[in-house]
Amino acid sequence: MVIATCEVDYAGRLSAHLPKATRLLMVKADGSVLVHSDGGSYKPLNWMSPPCTLIERDGEWTVKNKAGETLVIRIEEILSDSTHHLGVDPGLMKDGVEAHLQALLADHLDVIGAGLRLVRREYPTPIGPVDILAREDVGTVAIEVKRVVEISAVEQLTRYLDLLNRSSKIAPVRGVLAGNVVKPQAKTLAEDRGITCVTTDYDELRGLTDPTARLF
Amino acid sequence: MVIATCEVDYAGRLSAHLPKATRLLMVKADGSVLVHSDGGSYKPLNWMSPPCTLIERDGEWTVKNKAGETLVIRIEEILSDSTHHLGVDPGLMKDGVEAHLQALLADHLDVIGAGLRLVRREYPTPIGPVDILAREDVGTVAIEVKRVVEISAVEQLTRYLDLLNRSSKIAPVRGVLAGNVVKPQAKTLAEDRGITCVTTDYDELRGLTDPTARLF
DNA sequence: GCATCAATGTCGCCT
DNA sequence: AGGCGACGTTGATGC
């Protein structure tokens, strides 16, 4: 951990230059380097991801990686310099993303439409898995689940539908996009292609499955 | 800057839990908080972006933002605690992003093909702007510029072409994808659809516009 | 403020 | 190793 007045240049996938100012330089155990200012978000102003090597010489740090990207830090004045050993860190546990929404929807297909019977989740195709496949009285429904439904989701589902409708076994297959948020452009493009959009409510779905579940 | 043995919980867009370990806690001037381990990339294990408020009490930090997301840090033992004032930071200057490549290409359409005349950059359509539109002897060329050309760029340009070819004013319109890197799958799909791919050289293009321009 | 799109995106999974 | 999709994406820009 170094606090220093410095100037930084990055050359790699693009070029970037940071004028001289006082910043926080963090060197991690794996050799990666982060240049932070005292504001902004969690993203550093400049950085080099591991694996990389740091060479220090004449008040100039040069960090390189395999791909030939370089980060050069010219240090004018060091205001603080300290080292700490942190030890290993246990993993991070997450819960509540798309996989969870997909499971909840599979348990409550009535939210999508009446009379749907689950075939399976992650139904495999040569171009990737369909999130949820369900039968209805006539034909099949392919459901793509997204937290936020954008144009790319329409394209993705369109590819699945094109392919599934060539397989006579389960055709005809219609498409449904489900998500907590449906972007206007996505909705427009989807309806142009005969794809239905359903706006879901994550908390409500969770309530249906487990009425006792509450936030803390 | 605090080095401490701590346990962290985030609840907001998802839920996440970090078991007890020694980590680096960074509190920035704008109140944002970052929890870093001694490895990984530049992304913190947990964080809270500004604007947010930090409440410290009984060795427990609670960070909240407007949206009701919370980050709770239970501190077991503080190994180091220091404060530094950094002052304001001048902006970061970047060069080589898509916007620059688009401008350079618009000035050198001969790189795409002979006899092209620029109509305009960011040509508007109902489904988004076409990066560069140019006339040729017969018909029009729609050029999509990407730093890295991937399948999604092919899809994007295909949508534009479908739409533009319905408008008799400028039809027929053919498509060109231009980028520093063209992924093989994108090239294959593009050629299947009659779309040309051009691999550009950013440094060379910059040299054409300003022969004196050099890296620093 | 919302909607859209790029990013040195990063990360994780799967082939 | 490369492709592909999700992300607490974040960040910038135009309307």
Per residue in B12-67, pLDDT (tens digit) is 888 889 999 999 999 999 999 999 999 888 999 999 999 999 999 999 999 999 98
- Listed as own residue / partner, the contacts of A151-154 with beta carbons closer than 8 Å and 24 or more positions apart are A151/A183, A151/A185, A151/A186, A151/A189, A152/B152, A153/A177, A153/A179, A153/A186, A154/A186, A154/A189, A154/A190, A154/A193, A154/A195
Return the CATH number at B61.
Answer: 2.70.180.20
User: Within a 10 A sphere around the Cβ of A6, how many other Cβ atoms?
Assistant: 23
User: Is residue B204 domain-shared with residue B105, that is, in the same domain?
Assistant: yes
Return the CATH number at A104.
Answer: 3.40.1350.10
- Give chain A's end-to-end CA distance (angstroms, integer): 37
In a domain, A92, yes or no: no
CA A132, CA A109: separation in Å to the nearest integer? 10
């898995």: which residue's tokens? A129
Q: Give the CA-to-C1' distance from A80 to D11 in angstroms.
A: 30
In a domain, B216, yes or no: no
User: Is residue A113 domain-shared with residue A63, that is, in the same domain?
Assistant: no
In a domain, A62, yes or no: yes
User: Is residue B136 domain-shared with residue B202, that is, in the same domain?
Assistant: yes
CA distance A51 to chain B (A): 10
Q: Which domain holds residue A155?
A: 98-209
Candidates A10, A32, A38, A93: best to mutate against B (most CBs of B within 10 A) is A38
Whether residue A35 contacts residue A8, with contact meaning beta carbons closer than 8 Å, is answered with: yes
Backbone CA torsion sign across A34, B31, B59, B10: negative
Q: Give the CA-to-C1' distance from B98 to D15 in angstroms.
A: 21
User: Is residue B51 domain-shared with residue B150, that is, in the same domain?
Assistant: no
């230059």: which residue's tokens? A17
In a domain, A214, yes or no: no
Q: Which of A5, A84, A120, A147 is nearest to B24 (CA)?
A: A84
More confident residue, B204 or B76: B76
* Protein residue with the closest CA to the C1' atom of nucleotide C14: A128
Which of B81, B106, B130 is the endpoint of a domain? B81
In a domain, B92, yes or no: no
In a domain, B91, yes or no: no
Q: Which of A10, A160, A183, A30 is nearest to B127 (CA)?
A: A183
User: Is residue A65 domain-shared with residue A122, that is, in the same domain?
Assistant: no
Inter-chain CB proximity B86 and A155 less than 8 Å: no
User: Is residue B62 domain-shared with residue B16, that is, in the same domain?
Assistant: yes
User: Is residue A179 domain-shared with residue A109, that is, in the same domain?
Assistant: yes
Which of A21, A49, A81 is the endpoint of a domain? A81
CB contacts of A84 in chain B (<8 Å) are 3, 24, 79-80
User: Is residue B103 domain-shared with residue B204, that is, in the same domain?
Assistant: yes
- Give chain B's end-to-end CA distance (angstroms, integer): 34
Name the domain count of chain B. Answer: 2
Q: Give the CA-to-C1' distance from B182 to D13 in angstroms.
A: 26
Please give the torsion angle defined by the CA atoms of residues A131, A192, A162 and B184, in that order, rounded to the nearest 10 degrees. Answer: -90
More confident residue, A76 or B15: A76
User: Is residue B17 domain-shared with residue B67, that is, in the same domain?
Assistant: yes
In the predicted structure, residue B86 carries a pLDDT above the cut 50: yes
Share of chain B above pLDDT 70, in %: 96
In a domain, A134, yes or no: yes
User: Is residue A48 domain-shared with residue A125, that is, in the same domain?
Assistant: no
Strand partners, B135: B117, B140
Query: Are β-strands B93-95 and A15-27 bridged in parallel, bridged antiparallel, or unpaired?
Result: antiparallel
User: Is residue B60 domain-shared with residue B115, that is, in the same domain?
Assistant: no
Which of A81, A109, A142 is the endpoint of a domain? A81
> Which residues are CB-contacts of A138 (< 8 A; sequence separation ≥ 6)?
A172
Tens digits of residue pLDDT in A132-153 = 999 999 999 999 998 888 888 8
Tokens of A190: 């989807």
In a domain, A216, yes or no: no
Inter-chain CB proximity B11 and A215 less than 8 Å: yes
